[in-house]
Structures are given as structure tokens and as C-alpha cells.
Amino acid sequence: MIKIYGIPNCDTVRKAVKWLEAQDIKHEFIDYRKNPLAKAEIESWDKAIGWEAFLNKRSTAWKPLEQSVKDTIDRETALSLMLDKVTLIKRPVLVKGKEVFLGFKPEQYQEIFA
């Protein structure tokens, strides 16, 4: 089963879900604001692609963090912050089996589901 994680009011998430529906690809959408992520989930994403890839430093939740935290961010701190403030996670996160993909571009999804 394809899982797509994000928040429903995100334009990119909506585009990704719409694309999956248009291609008739069965998927489960997980709103991680309403359904908090388990530490094991975020750790599996880290193992698949690395926490640096899915830490969203352009998020409004990143800006107010203390500069000392930003300057010394490490894996444990990043994962903890992302569990606490889910908007620090780049969106959407698409999980297909053991593969994890970030963001949405039609060409990218076309390749994933080819």
C-alpha cells in the first residue's frame, strides 16, 4: 500500500494526492497533524533517505528556533523536533514499500510508478 504523509492544506500535498487519484493508484493519506508520527516511522525515513533530506529549513517552525539549535542540529535533535513540530518535515512524504520519496513533481511520480 502506498502511503502519502503531509497536511491537507499544503498545495504540494494536494497536487500529489490528486495525481495519485488521476492515475487510479490506491493510497492512504496520513495527515500527520491529526495522526502523530511514531518515532519508528521517522527513524525509518531517516534510514532510507537521511534526516537532512526531510528537515524543512524553510518551514515557519524553523525560523523561530534558537540560532544555537540551528547551528548545532544533529540527527537526534532533528528527529525529536520533527516529531514535535511536524511542519519541519518536507512534504509530501511518499512511502512505497521500503522506498521513501520527498516532494512532488509529476515527472518524479511518473518514474516512481512506471
Domains in the chain with CATH codes: 2-112 (3.40.30.10)
Q: Which of 2, 10, 48, 65 is catalytic?
A: 10
DSSP state of 89: B
This prediction's pTM: 0.92
pLDDT band at 87 (very low <50, low <70, confident <90, very high): very high
For residue 1, the model assigns a pLDDT of 86
Give, in degrees to the nearest 5, the angle at Cα 54 between 80 and 96: 110
- 70 is known as an active-site residue: no
Q: To the nearest whole number, what is the mean pLDDT of the chain?
A: 95
pLDDT band at 58 (very low <50, low <70, confident <90, very high): very high
What is the average per-residue pLDDT within 89-104?
A: 96
